Each structure stands twice: as structure tokens, then as C-alpha cells.
């Protein structure tokens, strides 16, 4: 059992998401930064899909009642166990009664805390992920509060791995570094002028405070439409870049709407969506267009890095 002493501003239970429900207007939810989430689970020996915590800007403080193993990845939140500093991107062994705290993020927005065995909350429509706007999944469909108690899935395996694991330094994202997100133009890039496309690919955009799990709102030079910004509503893919009438792009994330009526100038490649979601208000990013073939190659490279990222510590 895990007792939440201080929940932080927005800590939710997430797994890899609620597939197959967009037709009913329900987004997949799941982690904004899938790469960091999967690595947290692998560090504690879980399946990639096991439920874990997503923490926003400031993490929670919690107590475990039995020996356990956790891992913290994603945004650079300082981790302490009973007041003593503990490493991120590494398996952390806990004893009964240990208190873990995640402080304010020094870079990035979202951290992930995985527990060996995974969190045990009631699945809703096949997923434990929290969808806050729909009040679905997680713990009562809401962000965690002080005093909440979470259960860990009972497993036949020992609660602490025999040998700790760590993520190789070269696989750890640098959330404070400059970001150029790779995009594939379309599906409605024909509804923008040539100047508008050049603006998208040539300007620098600043992340706005209104950004959330639904989308990263950006501000920069206005992207010019050729035939108006409204279209007949169609499906929204992860990473879709909508451009409303004000010409300011919005990159849509895990809690995006199922359909939308604003023209979409491009789509951020799946391996860069999490990096966009980790940008803090005031940080900037740029976009670079790639072909579908190049996007497939870059995805294979990202997947290959994920496969070799977690290593066992030397005995």
C-alpha cells in the first residue's frame, strides 16, 4: 500500500492508455512522455503497460508500508528517501515505512514513478489511465489528494529486483536543451500558404502557460491560412498541429479531443511528442519537416535506443 502524504499539483495514475475509444469521444490518455514512462516500468521489472504515477511540475510525497522497488524518470525532480537524496533513472529499493518525496522539477514538466508490480486501480474501458476531463480511470477519475491510498499489484516475484537497474546516460533526454521537433506535413497543409509553411518551419515558438495534457499551446509569428482555418471535423492523431484562426499552433497530446474542425498543418512524429509535452511555459521549440520514410527510420532508431537503454548494475 502507498499512502499519499502530499499529492503535488497534479499527480495522476496512468498506464499506456485507453485504446479503441476515440470513436466514442474518449481519448487514450496515458503518459504524455511515453519514452520516460516505459523506462520507469522497465527499471522495476514491470510490463511496459503497468500503471504508474505521472507527476506535474512538483511531485508527491508518499509512504510505503512494505519493502518495494520504485523508479523515477522524466522531468528532473529531485528525489529523496527519508530526507536523503536518491538517484533518478535508477531502481530504488525501499523498506517498509520509507517516505519518498519528489521536489519541484528543475527541467521538464512531467515525472514518472513506477512501482514493482504496478499500481492496482480499477480498469475503466480496459485501462487504468486517468482522463481528468471525463472523470474516468485512475483513482475516481481525478488527480491524487493527500490521504489517498493506492495498492500495488500482488506479484509472485520479489518486490525488489535482485540487482538494480539504471538507464544509460545517453538514453536520458535532456529536457532543458533546445528542441527541434520533427514533423510530417499534413493532413491539411494545402490549406496554408507557402509563406505559412515557411513560417512554421522557420520560426521559433514559445510554450504558453495554458498548455496541459490536452495540448501544448505555442506563440510565435502567425501561420497564414490560404482558405480559412475551419474544416469539416475529422480525427485527431497524437502530435497533430492545429492552427486556429489566430494563426498560433497547438500540438495535441494524450488527452486530445477525438475530432477537430481546425486545419492541421503538420503532425509531430511520435518519438518527439513526449519531448514537446516536456517543454515548460516560456521555453521555445522549432519544427523541421521530414518525409514519411525518414520518420519511419527515426522511429526505428528511437525504438532501438529504448531496447538498450536499461542496464543491470554491476555486481
pLDDT digits (tens, 9 = 90+) for 247-274: 999 999 999 999 999 999 999 999 999 9
Same domain membership, residue 143 and residue 21: yes
**For residues 189-204, average pLDDT:** 97
Q: How many folded domains does the chain comprise?
A: 2
Q: What is the pLDDT of residue 313?
A: 78
Q: What is this structure's pTM?
A: 0.96
174, 251 Cβ separation under 8 angstroms: no
Condensed to tens digits (0 to 9), the pLDDT of residues 3-17 reads 999 999 999 999 999
Q: Do 216 and 133 fall within a single domain? A: no
d(CA 192, CA 266): 11
Q: Are residues 99 and 146 in the same domain?
A: yes
pLDDT value at 24 more than 60: yes
209 and 155 within one domain: no
pLDDT at 314 over 80: no
Mean of pLDDT values over 27-34: 97
Kindly state whether residues 195 and 138 are assigned to the same domain. Answer: no
pLDDT of 106-130, one tens digit each? 999 999 999 999 999 999 999 999 9
My answer on whether 34 and 139 are in the same domain is yes
User: 167 CB contacts (<8 Å, ≥6 apart)?
Assistant: 39, 43, 73, 89, 90, 309, 310, 311
Residue 157: predicted pLDDT: 63
In a domain, 173, yes or no: no
Is 54 a domain residue?
Answer: yes
One domain for residues 152 and 219:
no
Structural domain includes residue 315: no
Q: Is 314 within a domain?
A: no
- Is 272 a domain residue? yes
Does one domain contain both 10 and 38?
yes
Given a cut of 70, whether residue 156 has pLDDT beyond it is no
User: Which pLDDT does position 210 carry in this prediction?
Assistant: 96
Residue pair 225/196 in contact by the 8 Å Cβ criterion = yes
How many helices (H) does the chain have, and how many strands (E)? 4, 23
- Rounded mean pLDDT of 175-188? 96
pLDDT of residue 227: 87
Query: How many Å apart are CA 206 and CA 60, to the nearest integer?
Result: 28
Domain final residue pick, 167, 201, 226: 167
pLDDT of residue 77: 98
Domain boundary among 146, 167, 188: 167
Q: Of 64-73, 136-145, 160-169, 195-204, give the lowest mean pLDDT range.
A: 160-169
**3-state SS, residue 311:** strand
* Assigned domain for 298 exists: yes
Q: Is the distance from CB of 183 to CB of 264 less than 8 angstroms?
A: no
103 and 135 share a domain? yes
Q: Residue 98 above 70 pLDDT?
A: yes
Sign of CA dihedral 257, 262, 268, 274: negative
In a domain, 175, yes or no: no
Residues 112-134: b if buried by 16+ CB within 10 A, e if exposed: bbbbbbbbbbeebeebbbbbbeb
What is the radius of gyration, based on Cα positions, of the chain? 20
For position 194, which CATH number holds? 2.40.100.10
Under the banding of pLDDT at 50, 70 and 90, the label for residue 154 is confident
Domain that holds residue 249: 180-309
Q: Which of 142, 167, 192 is the last residue of a domain?
A: 167
Percent of the chain with pLDDT over 90: 93
Same domain, 85 and 152: yes
Judgement on whether residues 252 and 122 belong to the same structural domain of the protein: no
As a whole number, the mean pLDDT across the chain is 95
pLDDT at 163: 78
| pLDDT above 70 coverage of the chain, percent | 97
**What's the CA gap between 243 and 199, in Å, rounded?**
12
In a domain, 52, yes or no: yes
Instruction: Taking residues 153-173, report their average pLDDT.
Output: 82
State the pLDDT confidence band at 162, using cuts at 50, 70 and 90: low
Examine the pLDDT at 23 and tell me if it is beyond 80. Answer: yes
Tell me, yes or no, whether 90 and 55 share the same domain.
yes
pLDDT range class, residue 172, cuts 50, 70, 90: very high
Q: In sequence order, what DSSP letters do the residues of 182-231 get, joined into one string?
A: EEEE-SSGGGB-HHHHHHHHHS-EEE-TT--SSEEEEESSPPPBSS-SEE
Amino acid at each position: 500500500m502507498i499512502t499519499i502524504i502530499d499529492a503535488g499539483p497534479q499527480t495522476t495514475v496512468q498506464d499506456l492508455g485507453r485504446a479503441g475509444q476515440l470513436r466514442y469521444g474518449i481519448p487514450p490518455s496515458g503518459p504524455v512522455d511515453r519514452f520516460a514512462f516505459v523506462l520507469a516500468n522497465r527499471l522495476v521489472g514491470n510490463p511496459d503497460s503497468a500503471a504508474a504515477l505521472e507527476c506535474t511540475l512538483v511531485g508527491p510525497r508518499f509512504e510505503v508500508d512494505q519493502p518495494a522497488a520504485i523508479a523515477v524518470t522524466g522531468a528532473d525532480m529531485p528525489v529523496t528517501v527519508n530526507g536523503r537524496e536518491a538517484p533518478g533513472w535508477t531502481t530504488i529499493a525501499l523498506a517498509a515505512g520509507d517516505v519518498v518525496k519528489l521536489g519541484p522539477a528543475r527541467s521538464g514538466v512531467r515525472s514518472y514513478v513506477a512501482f514493482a508490480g504496478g499500481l492496482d486501480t480499477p480498469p475503466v474501458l480496459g485501462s487504468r489511465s486517468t482522463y481528468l476531463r471525463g472523470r474516468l480511470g485512475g483513482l475516481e477519475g481525478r488527480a491524487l489528494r493527500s490521504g489517498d491510498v493506492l495498492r500495488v499489484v500482488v506479484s509472485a516475484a520479489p518486490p525488489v529486483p535482485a540487482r538494480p537497474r539504471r538507464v544509460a546516460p545517453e538514453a536520458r533526454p535532456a529536457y532543458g536543451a533546445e528542441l527541434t521537433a520533427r514533423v510530417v506535413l499534413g493532413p491539411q497543409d494545402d490549406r496554408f500558404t507557402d509563406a505559412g509553411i515557411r513560417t512554421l518551419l522557420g520560426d521559433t515558438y514559445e510554450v504558453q502557460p495554458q498548455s496541459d495534457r490536452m495540448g501544448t499551446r505555442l506563440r510565435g509569428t502567425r501561420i497564414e491560412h490560404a482558405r480559412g482555418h475551419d474544416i469539416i471535423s475529422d480525427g485527431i492523431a497524437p502530435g497533430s498541429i492545429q492552427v486556429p484562426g489566430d494563426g498560433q499552433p497547438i500540438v495535441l497530446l494524450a488527452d486530445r479531443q477525438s475530432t477537430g474542425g481546425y486545419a492541421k498543418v503538420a503532425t509531430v512524429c511520435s518519438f518527439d511528442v513526449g519531448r514537446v509535452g516536456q517543454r515548460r511555459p516560456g521555453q521555445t521549440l522549432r519544427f523541421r519537416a521530414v518525409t514519411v520514410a525518414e520518420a519511419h527510420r527515426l522511429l526505428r532508431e528511437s525504438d532501438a535506443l529504448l531496447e538498450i537503454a536499461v542496464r543491470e548494475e554491476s555486481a
